[in-house]
Amino acid sequence: MEITVLESGSATIVAIRGSIDGLTAGALSDALAEQVRNGRSRIVADFGAVEYISSAGLRALLGALKDARHQGGDLRLAAIRADVQRVLDLSGFTSILKSYLDADAAVGSFGA
Amino acid sequence: MPDEAASFSRPGTLENLPAFIDFVGEACRRAGADPSSCLALRLAVEEVCVNLMRHGYAGREPGPIEMDVRAEPRRLVVTITDFAPPFFPESAPAPDLSSGWKERPLGGLGWHLVKTAVDQVRYESGASTGNRLTLVKNIEPKHKEEPHGNHGPRIGLGDDRRDPRKH
């Protein structure tokens, strides 16, 4: 898994590539937590290149979502592939996470 | 095509997770399974292995995880044997998938995903033979023609044909 962080106005895009599994989810948690710790709690996780997610990855997302919302921000997902979307659906994450077709739309959803 | 079987064993530690994933992925490819079914089987295998690595063998010298994959016509049968204290999947509480984000606990989704990702789950435990979990995944050959037109992408997870009670 590779993570690239890019600031976009008031939001931060965390672009993830590869698999978010039991071995890599910890690194994603750390990367997202660092953004919140630095006061950048409007986070877009760009899932365009995420091919796989397991419950360890879901745990990382939920932890970051809670952290971000407690700080007045949010974690929003973008460009989710079909198989990953299915795991999110089956896990009941669709009802608590906002997702968008692409990263630009997700960034725009935060407003100015 | 005759059934094909392969076996693999490693200590139940997290650094061996990729080796188990690769083993199952290779068996999936050899069987000609569609990518979505392969991803679903990978998910189930990872959840089982990580559960053993983080919980089953926690606080003790990690024992082995033995994995067998048998390719049968139109399905893959994965048998995972461990020597941790018995764990009964049916005793795992079902997660509340409708609670709000504040109430939603971190974790508790692993077995839910296992049961959803594959078509059958069987579990047997024995003091001398270890615990044996069998996962059965129905597979679709790649490039299968749709008899009634294109119904969009097939997702191998949570197929409506699944019946976990059917052995």
User: What would you report as the CA-atom Rg of chain A, rounded to the nearest whole angstrom?
Assistant: 12
Contact A92 B107 (CB under 8 A): no
* pLDDT tier for residue A60 given thresholds of 50, 70 and 90: very high
DSSP character at residue A72:
T
C-beta of residue B82 within 8 angstroms of C-beta of residue B131: yes
Q: Which CATH superfamily is domain A2-108 in?
A: STAS domain (3.30.750.24)
Bridging pattern class, strands A2-8 and B75-82:
unpaired
Domains and CATH numbers, chain B: 4-138 (3.30.565.10)
Contact B14 A23 (CB under 8 A): yes
The three-class DSSP label of residue B73 is coil
Counting residues of chain A whose pLDDT is more than 90, the rounded percentage is: 98
C-beta of residue A58 within 8 angstroms of C-beta of residue B109: yes
Predicted ipTM of the assembly: 0.92
**What is the arithmetic mean of pLDDT over A38-60?**
98
Contact list, A56 vs chain B (CB under 8 Å): 50
DSSP character at residue B158:
T
Please name the member of B98, B106, B110 whose beta carbon is closest to the beta carbon of A63: B106
C-beta of residue A60 within 8 angstroms of C-beta of residue A29: yes
Please name the member of B35, B109, B158 whose beta carbon is closest to the beta carbon of A86: B158
What values do phi and psi take at B59, rounded to 5? Answer: 75, 15
Average pLDDT, chain A: 97
Does any CB of chain B come closer than 8 Å to the CB of residue A56? Answer: yes
d(CA A11, CA A112): 9
Strands (E), chain B: 4-11, 64-72, 75-82, 120-126, 130-138
d(CA B147, CA B128): 49
> Which residues neighbour A30 within 8 Å (Cβ) at sequence distance 6 or greater?
none
The residues in A 4-23 lying below 8 A from B, measured between CB atoms, are 21-23
Contact A82 B98 (CB under 8 A): no
- Among A81-90, B54-63, B111-120, the range scoring the smallest mean pLDDT is B54-63
d(CA B129, CA A21): 30
B137 CB burial (10 A radius; 0-12, 13-18, 19+): buried
> Which residues neighbour B50 within 8 Å (Cβ) at sequence distance 6 or greater?
A22, A54, A55, A56, B14, B17, B110
Task: Report the pLDDT value the prediction gives residue A104, as an integer from 0 to 100.
Answer: 97
Residue type, A72: G
* pLDDT tier for residue B5 given thresholds of 50, 70 and 90: confident
Nearest CA-CA distance, residue A88 and chain B, Å: 10
pTM over 0.90: no
Of residues B55 and B89, more confidently modeled:
B55
**What is the arithmetic mean of pLDDT over A67-73?**
98
N- to C-terminal Cα distance for chain A?
31
**Domain layout of chain A by residue ranges:** 2-108
